Structure formats: C-alpha cells, structure tokens
Amino acid sequence: MSAIAPLYSAAACGDRGSGTLERPALKRLLADIAAGKVDVVVVYKIDRLSRSLMDFSRLVEVFDQHKVTFISVTQSFNTTTSMGRLTLNILLSTDYLAIAGLHKLAHARGIAVVVIHHVRMEADDPFDMVSGTNGLTGAADTILVLKRQAGNATLHARGRDIEEKETACRFDKMTCRWTLLGDADQVHSSGERAAIISALANGGSEGMHISEIMAATERNDRNAVDQLLFKMQRDRELVRIKRGLYALPGKIGKKERNEAYPSGK
C-alpha cells in the first residue's frame, strides 16, 4: 500500500527564496527522506527546489543515497531514467559553465561583475523569465529582473546574501536614467488607485463598467483590477453601484445612489 506524502510548502513556512538550503520546509523534507518516509520528490520546476547548482547537486546526492526519485513536472526531468539524468546534468552544467568563470574572477578579484541577459515570455515568478535553465542563475550570487506590467516597472531582486525585494522604478527619457521609487506594492498601488479615480472622475454619473475602467487605465490584468477595486470600495474611495459597475462616492446620481445603498445608508 502506498501513500502520498504531505506538501512541503516553502510559502507556508514564510520562506520566499530558493537560494539556500536553510529553509524550514526543505529541512523537513530532508528529515523525512532520511527517515525513509519519501520515495519520490516532485517539483513544478527545478528552481522551486534550488537555484544554486552546487546546492542542487548536494540534494541529488541525498536523493541517490536514499533511493529517492526526483521529478520536475514542467521540464520533463525524471531521475529514474538514464536519459533523464543525462539531460539534467548536461543542461545545468552547460548553462552554469557559461558564467562560472566570471563568478570565479569576481570572487578572486573582489569585484562585482554584472551580466546582462535576455528574458523570455511572461511568468508568474519573474525569475522564471530568465532565459535558460537554473544552471545559469545558479552561478550568480544575486539575480535582478526588471519587469514591466500595466505601465509599471518593477525591479525584482533575489540572492544568497540579500532578502528578496520588489522595488518600483521609473525611467527618465531625458537623462536615460532609472530612479528607484520605493516598495513596489505601495508605489504601484498608489499610482493605480489614482489612475482609476481619474478615470471615474471623467466618467458619467451612471458609473463605469470594469471593462471601461480597464480600457481607460490601459490595464489588461482583470483579476488584479478586480482585487484593487474591491480594496478601493472597502476603503470608501469608490462605490459599487451594481455588479461590475463603479463610480466615485460624490458623483453618482439619485438612482445610482439608491442602487449602491439600497438601505439608504
């Protein structure tokens, strides 16, 4: 009889990075492996386990010692097959060696070497946008990804010796310089709210549908806009006249006010 082991969630333990082995969920997984409770480790992508090639190699050694199979779902890596192990080793080592020499030089000379690399398609995790395998990012001490979305620019930072951080940025076309504005959530939220308020101010007393708000603010992320509108309604920055229809508190007509406040409050 076989059983499915519990989920080892890094987020549930308050861990946000994969650049170190000192993570509560990972430690619990390794302890269960040593106790013979785990037969297979399944991850969405390899970098969910580790972004360091050295750390990943150590983990694979532990898996091998305890006869634990490792599977990466989206990358078709399965260590139960010789081809899977070969493919994994070749891809990781090739990307790692591409910048390992620069990493060695930087540490030997006590200097910082900045490598500018291109990104690929959009991803939920900005660091998944770095083109190549995690062997490439595994050789770097710190990874910075500049991501643009809905007119906003955010610099995502993750590394072995820093806390993961998201910083809002602004580019000045006149000076060709970037300016760091502060915490991304706070900066972008303030700007996004102001854009919605401006759109509603220019709209009619009958309110605006969410699709009209998105068009006016040049947004295409419906879920994020829904969540922001809910928060703005909660903070009394706007009112929801009815499902999907919003207006500013002082701009709605009598009919719309009755629909928004049926109790007369």
How many domains, the chain?
A: 3
- Let me know if residue 119 belongs to a domain: no
Residue with tokens 């990307």: 95
Element (H, E) at 200: helix 184-201
Mean pLDDT by 10 residues, the chain (265 residues): 56 52 85 90 80 75 86 73 68 71 87 88 77 72 85 85 88 89 82 88 86 90 88 88 87 53 48
The DSSP result for 116-168, as a single string, is: ---B-S--SSGGGGBSS-HHHHHT-SEEEEEEEETTEEEEEEEESSS--EEEE
Strand partners, 167: 155, 183
Burial, 240: exposed, middle or buried (Cβ in 10 Å; 0-12, 13-18, 19+)?
Answer: middle
Q: Which of 77, 109, 141 is the last residue of a domain?
A: 109
**pLDDT given for residue 265 in this prediction:** 46
- Same domain for 149 and 190, yes or no, is no
pTM given for the model: 0.49
Domain containing 67 equals 11-109
- Let me know if residue 77 belongs to a domain: yes
**pLDDT given for residue 7 in this prediction:** 67
CATH number at residue 244: 1.10.10.10
CA atoms within 13 A of residue 151's CA, in its CB half-sphere: 13
